[in-house]
């Protein structure tokens, strides 16, 4: 699963660009999920429907099932939690997120002022041509990535997910051009601050180069175990993933799952309640 965030100020074409990106991904036969961030009160239901009455009566979680299924949960979930649940339930190829500019995921920005180390490209979404969308989606396809805390390299345990993410994005030529185009927004107010920042930047650059080298030689790991503890995504490397997977599958193999019509363990979902610790 890969995540791309479309960010920008109000009325800069975020939604129209998001729709175009979704359509292009679907043309390429990818399975797509979306998340929309809003500062307004969101209501998915209509007044006087049965599910609306359930909610009004006091139900914290309402599920409506028909030709579609919707969950109405009285809770503000974090982006990380939403991504975890989407991956668990639907396993899409891409999650297109509209908003959430402060998260460290690959971004397409519709405002020049919104530009950070995770911004792949700044675009004029109000005037972008349809012919430009495929190239933009090429960029998304090549340089977006999975849930941040799950990023690992095939070197038995390097775990610096943020640096790995920055290194992935910095390999993009568009990102390099983007940095040049937006240099006017990176104003340094004092020489002393400049010196300190340069030292820090040098360390960051060296770390980035080292990870870039590893990225060229090795692939980011495909991890079979998705772990969350107390609603926080916990990254595991390939060694830990294999250990957990083989241990659990070994125990499950001793169970008589055939009685439930289960012969193959294609996907195992396990929840451990440990609230009453002794």
pLDDT tens digits along 193-223: 555 556 666 776 676 666 666 655 545 667 8
Domain annotation covers residue 255: no
Domain annotation covers residue 66: no
CA pair distance 94, 115, nearest whole angstrom: 22
pTM of the model: 0.79
Tell me the pairing of strands 2-7 and 107-109. parallel
Position 153 scores a pLDDT of 65
Residues of the chain with pLDDT under 70: 39-42, 153-159, 173-201, 204-205, 207-221, 277-278
Position 74 scores a pLDDT of 85
Query: Domain span at residue 157?
Result: 2-41+75-188+209-217
CA pair distance 18, 153, nearest whole angstrom: 30
Position 184 scores a pLDDT of 46
Tokens representing residue 227 in the block: 């772990």
Count of C-beta atoms within a 10 Å radius of residue 45: 17
Domain annotation covers residue 240: no
CA pair distance 263, 207, nearest whole angstrom: 46
Domain annotation covers residue 121: yes
Residue 63 phi, psi (nearest 5):
-120, 125
Q: How many domains does the chain have?
A: 1
Strands lying side by side in the sheet with 94-98: 32-36, 94-98, 2-7, 107-109, 119-122
Determine contact, residues 33/4, Cβ cutoff 8 Å: no
Tell me the pLDDT tens digit for each residue of 54-81: 989 999 999 999 888 888 888 888 999 9
Determine contact, residues 44/52, Cβ cutoff 8 Å: no
Domain annotation covers residue 198: no
User: What is the radius of gyration, based on Cα positions, of the chain?
Assistant: 22
Q: Is 238 left (phi over 0), alpha (psi -120 to 50) or beta?
A: alpha
Domain annotation covers residue 143: yes
Domain annotation covers residue 96: yes
Position 195 scores a pLDDT of 56
Domain annotation covers residue 223: no
């Amino acid at each position: 699963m890969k995540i791309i965030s479309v960010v920008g100020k109000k009325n800069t074409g975020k939604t129209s660009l998001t729709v175009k990106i979704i359509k292009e991904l679907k043309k390429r036969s990818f399975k797509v999920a979306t998340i929309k961030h809003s500062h307004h009160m969101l209501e998915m239901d209509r007044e006087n429907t049965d599910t609306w009455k359930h909610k009004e009566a006091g139900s914290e979680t309402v599920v409506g099932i028909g030709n579609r299924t919707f969950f109405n949960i009285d809770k503000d979930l974090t982006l990380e939690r939403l991504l975890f649940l989407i991956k668990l339930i639907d396993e899409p190829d891409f999650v297109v997120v509209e908003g959430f500019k402060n998260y460290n995921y690959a971004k397409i920005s519709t405002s020049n002022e919104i530009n950070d180390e995770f911004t792949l490209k700044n675009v004029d979404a109000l005037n972008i041509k349809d012919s430009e969308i495929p190239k933009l989606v090429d960029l998304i396809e090549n340089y977006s990535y999975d849930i941040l805390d799950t990023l690992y390299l095939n070197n038995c345990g390097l775990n610096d997910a943020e640096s790995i993410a920055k290194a992935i994005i910095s390999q993009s030529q568009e990102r390099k051009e983007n940095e040049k185009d937006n240099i006017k927004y990176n104003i340094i107010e004092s020489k002393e601050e400049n010196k300190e920042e340069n030292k820090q930047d040098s360390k960051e650059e060296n770390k980035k180069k080292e990870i870039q080298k590893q990225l060229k030689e090795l692939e980011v790991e495909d991890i079979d175990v998705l772990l969350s503890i107390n609603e926080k995504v916990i990254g595991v490397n390939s060694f830990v993933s294999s250990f957990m997977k083989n241990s659990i599958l070994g125990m499950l193999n001793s169970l008589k799952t055939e009685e439930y019509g289960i012969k193959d363990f294609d996907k195992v979902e396990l929840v451990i309640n440990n609230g009453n610790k002794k």
